[in-house]
Chains A and B, each alone.
Chain A
């Protein structure tokens, strides 16, 4: 009887999707709910939680360091978008050119940095951007007669190192996304355009760019997510979560500082909820603008 029931065509789909439902409920809905709840409480590990209403959010609004973290995350996201979308797209188009030599080799080497863990990559970059005269970047600057710079102590310099790390790791990956997108553009379009006498630039602007739109939207979506949620890169680059003057502090870094380092879980939860709202608003606006929702199925 039970077997009959379980094996019926009506029940089977639920059996198939039940692992997802369980994971979704246990590891997403429940934590999100408890996060929302915690954000209205004062929570300290090992002690009873106390209801404090909107206190955490109130405090958050006047918290200069949190504001700094939000600005840092936002700037990081914007800069990664500004660099990691146009350049990989351009590289993809160029590397796809029929006159390209050693295409596969270049594709692989561009992709290679993505294989390193952030821990390893961050450490390498921390050492490369060291302020000593002999550190890689400073020694290169030395060839041009530039005095050694203190990269990881200034806001602008620190961000240069941070963006360099992101660019190094993700250019190749994003380029591959765009290459995959290019594969889906039929050659006939270009041939037709050539016959019409379109210049290479016109072909890029009129055919390539519009037809790469789905890929661009995908890259944009994951980049927004990755930019706003960035933390480990900063943690590794400054070898800890306390960068000088908080120049490398991000939203998740602040969540970590309050929650893990200061055992102030309620406040940290409020930080998390604010991050969730920011991410959702940006991504849903972006998707609405780019017309993702209009596409059926």
Chain B
């Protein structure tokens, strides 16, 4: 006799229905990626399974056609990797400074970290835009990476993590005669490794999907990231739906694979702020 079988089934059915609702848009896009763009324009995005119009043409076009999709894809990948590595290194270093030392102005500075977590970045768009322009950084990746390099949320997370690291390690390092930076690099960074995974995922996701600011900064089509490139396909004067839909579908795949492989870290990364908030 299995206890609570009706409840089990009820729960399962409830989530199954929700799950289907959530997956329908993906299914619709997957389906549309096999149909010609014309069909989409004419009948809309729908769930109609019509084998007569479905083919692999769009995928063939994606991989062999003459377009910039993979330039954008590569740019996004590159930018994401660079941004994640730099942000993690810089933010971890700052977080260590906050957690390992007592110094004048520390609390005031940390309040600043908390404050900028609350200021909508969008407010800064225009002044940042003029600043970037004055610095001669328009149309460069630096303009995208630099403002986020000391990410408040990431600093905050690392600092929380470092509070769990015993101060004795630092003291022991000093006794051994290591200088301050060596302690950080040789003793602390290795300990922080697990927290890096979660933050890498969180920052990676943000960076991969980042849109508004890069969109404003970049004007050279060869430098576009994937979301910007896909958006440029959204014009009635291009007949781009073949590429747009299959491209959108394909852009989800790498993230999906990463997600499946590192699911635990994704969830840790996403919830990092909430747990100890």
**Which residues of A are at the interface with B, using a C-beta cutoff of 8 A?**
7-10, 12-17, 19-24, 26-28, 30-32, 34-35, 38, 45, 91, 94-95, 97, 99-102, 104, 106-121, 123-125, 127-128, 130, 132-136, 138-139, 168, 171-173, 176-177, 179-181, 183-184, 214-215, 217-219, 221-222, 225, 228-229, 231-232, 236, 239, 252, 255-256, 259-260, 265, 268-269, 272-273, 275-276, 279-280, 283
Q: Say if the beta carbon of B94 comes within 8 Å of chain A.
A: yes
Q: Say if the beta carbon of B191 comes within 8 Å of chain A.
A: no
Contacts A99-B7, A231-B212 known; 6 new A-B pairs at CB < 8 A: A12-B180, A20-B90, A117-B230, A119-B231, A124-B25, A136-B28
Contact status A279-B119, CB under 8 Å: yes
A-B contact count (CB 8 A): 277
Query: Which residues 234-277 of B sit at the A interface, judged by CB distance below 8 A?
Result: 234, 244, 248, 251-252, 255-256, 259-260, 263, 266-267, 270-271, 273-275, 277
Contact status A34-B46, CB under 8 Å: no
For B108-136 the 0/1 string (1 means CB < 8 A from A) is 01001100101111111111101100000
Q: How far is the CA of A163 from the CA of B118 in the complex (A)?
A: 23
B121, B274, B275, B277 interface centre (most CB from chain A within 10 Å): B274
Contact status A21-B90, CB under 8 Å: no
Q: Say if the beta carbon of B193 comes within 8 Å of chain A.
A: no
Residue ID in chain B nearest A224 by CB atoms = B118
Residue ID in chain A nearest B252 by CB atoms = A116
Contact status A134-B46, CB under 8 Å: yes
Contact status B101-A30, CB under 8 Å: no
Contact status B12-A30, CB under 8 Å: no
| Nearest 10 A/B pairs, CB to CB | A16-B97, A135-B44, A31-B127, A13-B101, A127-B45, A180-B271, A117-B209, A12-B180, A229-B120, A134-B43
SS of A interface (majority):
helix
Which chain B positions have C-beta within 8 A of A119? 209, 211, 227-228, 230-231
Q: How far is the CA of A164 from the CA of B191 in the complex (A)?
A: 42
Which chain B positions have C-beta within 8 A of A181? 274-275
SS of B interface (majority):
helix
Q: How far is the CA of A113 from the CA of B18 in the complex (A)?
A: 13
Contact status B113-A168, CB under 8 Å: no
Contact status A112-B209, CB under 8 Å: no
Contact status A272-B11, CB under 8 Å: no
Q: Say if the beta carbon of B69 comes within 8 Å of chain A.
A: no
Q: How far is the CA of A94 from the CA of B16 in the complex (A)?
A: 13
Query: Which residues 177-213 of B sit at the A interface, judged by CB distance below 8 A?
Result: 179-181, 184, 205, 208-209, 211-212
Within the complex, what minimum Cβ distance (angstroms) separates A101 from chain B?
A: 5
Which chain B positions have C-beta within 8 A of A176? 267, 270-271
Which chain B positions have C-beta within 8 A of A225? 118, 120
Q: How far is the CA of A94 from the CA of B14 in the complex (A)?
A: 10
> Contacting A123 at CB < 8 Å: which of B181, B248, B275?
B248
